[in-house]
Amino acid sequence: MKIYKKGDEISYALGVFPTIELLKIRPQDVIRVIVHSSITQNKGYPVIKELCDKNHIHIDIHDKTIDKLSPKNNCFAIGVFKKYESIIEDENHVVLVNPMDMGNMGTIMRTMLGFHYKNLIIVRPAVDIFDPKVIRASMGAFFHLNVQYYDDFETYYQEYKEREFYPLMLKGAKNIHSVTTCKKHSLIFGNESSGLPDDYLNYGQSVFIPHGEKIDSLNLSMALGLTLFHFSKEEFMGKEVLKENV
C-alpha cells in the first residue's frame, strides 16, 4: 500500500469510527480492511469484524502498513476503498466556493450531517474530498453525503435556479435572523480566506451573520454551523415539541 495521492483510484478511511461508517454505508466499495495487532482492545473491533464477515471483506493485520498510511499514532484500523461518484438530490444544498482547507472540509461534512444537509456542491479549484485527512476529520460523515464538483458556479446555478439561493457575505443585504424559508434552498459560502466575491450579491438573497465589532469575520466552519442551525431550527424545534407532548 502507498501513501495517498490525488490521482489515485483508491483512498483510505483512517481510524476505527470512519472505517465502521464506511463499512455500514458503502460496503460495496470496500477493497479490504487493515487493522493493528492491538485492535482487539478497541471496543469498535467487534463491529468491524461483524460488518466485514457480513459483507465478505478481508481483514489484514499489518502494523507496518498502519504506521505508513496514518500520520497519527492512535490509528487502529484503515478501510481501503474505491473512489466513487455520488448523485446530488434535489433537496437543500450547501455550496462551497473554492474551499482549500482539508480539516475545515471534514468539520463541515460532519456539521452538515448533524443538521440533515446531505448534498454538498463544491466549486473548483478546491480541496480533494477523497484525501484521507478530509475523511478522518469528518469522522465518517463523508460516506453519508452526496458530493459533486462544478468548474464554475454559473453552471450549477442554471441547473437549480428555481430554488432559493442564500450567499453568506459580509456585504449581505439581509440579517440572517430575519430570513425564513420552507422552500428548497442553497446556502453558499466562500473560501476560508477571501469569502465570496461581490458578484455573488446578484444571486438570490444575500445574507450576513451579525457579530460584535471586535472581530472582522467568522471562520468558515463556524459560519456554516450557525447558518445550518438557523435554517434547520424549525425542524428541530418541531421534534422537541413533539417529544414534550408524548
Instruction: Report, as ranges of residue numbers, the positions in the chain whose pLDDT lies below 70.
Output: 238-246
pLDDT reported for residue 186? 98
Give the pLDDT score at 204.
95
**All residues at 6 or more sequence positions from 35 whose CB lies less than 8 Å from its CB, including other chains:** 45, 48, 59, 60, 61, 62, 66, 76, 77, 78
Q: What is the pLDDT of residue 118?
A: 98
Maximum Cα–Cα distance across the chain: 57
Give the pLDDT score at 218. 86
Q: Tell me: the pLDDT tens digits for 53-86?
A: 999 999 999 999 999 998 777 899 999 999 999 9
pTM (whole model) above 0.95:
no
In the chain, which ranges are E strands?
A: 10-14, 30-35, 59-61, 77-82, 93-97, 119-123, 146-150, 164-167, 174-175, 185-189, 207-208
- Other beta carbons within 10 angstroms of residue 128's beta carbon come to 18
Phi-psi region of 130 (alpha: psi -120 to 50; beta: other; left: phi over 0): alpha
Rounded to whole angstroms, the Cα distance separating 168 from 149 reads 20
